[in-house]
Structure 1
Amino acid sequence: MNTENLRLVIADWASLQKDAQAIRYAVFVIEQKIPAELEWDAADAQCVHAVAYDGSGKPVGTGRLLPDAHIGRMAVLAEARGLGIGAQILRALMEQAKARGEPSVRLNAQQSAENFYLKEGYVRDGELFEEAGIPHVSMVYLFA
């Protein structure tokens, strides 16, 4: 996959819902077998969303920033992983939080993704817990 022409769009749920839902459905519901009713919530309408598009315009990654400075629903399609797309989405959402004056951002990382967030400057903030049958850890990033 060519990430040279990667395009990242930051917008509201109404603008990005179709593409964000497709990615989240593929990653969380199909791949990770999370029940669909756990994936969708009313918070989407209040979030800032990010969707990454590859050079051909295909949506390949997404994430959201909640009003309480919590980042969530980070997902990159399997064929697009390992190319830095997730890091670009994460950094863009962090910039959105920083621009609105947040002192920090938080997230609940799947344990399997903890090292990804550690590399981005996050620190673990609590013990392991289970969410949707998957081990998670709370993490925080403090803006300097």
Structure 2
Amino acid sequence: MIKKANSDQEIKQAFQVRTTVFVDEQHVPPEEELDHFDKEAVHFIVIQNDSPIAASRLRFAGDYGKLERICVLKEQRGKSYGAQLIQAMETETAKKGYRKAKLNAQTHAENFYKRLGYETVSGEFLDAGIPHVTMIKQL
């Protein structure tokens, strides 16, 4: 079940998934993964059997919703949880009156986002030492 993380416990669960994927698995420094933007973001989690298995955050900047920190635990990948998180964030973005979504995708996931309607609008760049591209979608 995908839901907005509203309580401190749910936000902590989202951070737990992000730490597992980005810090433990991808070796992103913890201080880069959990940052000052977390306070202003809308957090999403996917819960299965009372355990968090996926998470993301959404911020609003300029004229778009910025989809960030999208992650699924390794053993749960390939089951459409990432696509469901994207859909939930796009729905929230549209509800707030924004017509564009933007994200910085790790290059290995670029085709995943293309299948969801995102278009690459930048060259490759490094974020936390990982190659990324910026992508946008008209909602």
Shorter-chain TM-score above 0.5: yes
1:24 to 11, 18, 24: 18
TM-score under structure 2 length normalisation:
0.94
Q: Which amino acid aligns with 2:135?
A: M
Query: Which segments of structure 1 move beyond 6 Å, counting only runs of 4 or more?
Result: none
1:94 aligns with 2:90: yes
Amino acid at match of 2:44: A
Mapped contact 1:14–1:45 kept (Cα < 8 A): no
Q: 1:57 aligns with which of 46, 50, 58?
A: 50
What residue in structure 1 maps to residue 29 of structure 2?
A: 35
Indicate the percent of aligned positions where both proteins have the same amino acid. 36
Structure with more of its chain in strand, by fraction: 2
Partners of 1:35 and 1:126 lie apart in 2 by 24
Give unpaired runs (5+ residues) of structure 2: none
Aligned length, in residue pairs: 136
Q: Distance in 2 between matches of 1:23 and 1:15?
A: 13
RMSD of aligned residue pairs (Cα, Å): 1.2
For 1:127, which of 120, 123, 126 is the aligned residue?
123
Q: For residue 60 of structure 2, give the secondary structure of its aligned residue in structure 1.
A: coil
1:111 matched residue in structure 2: 107
Given candidates 131, 136, 139, the residue that maps to 1:140 is: 136
| Cα offset, 1:118, TM superposition | 0.4
TM-score, structure 1 as length reference: 0.91
| C-alpha deviation, 1:49, in angstroms | 1.1
Q: Is the 8 A contact 1:104 1:140 kept in 2?
A: yes
Identify unmatched segments of 5+ residues in structure 1.
1-6
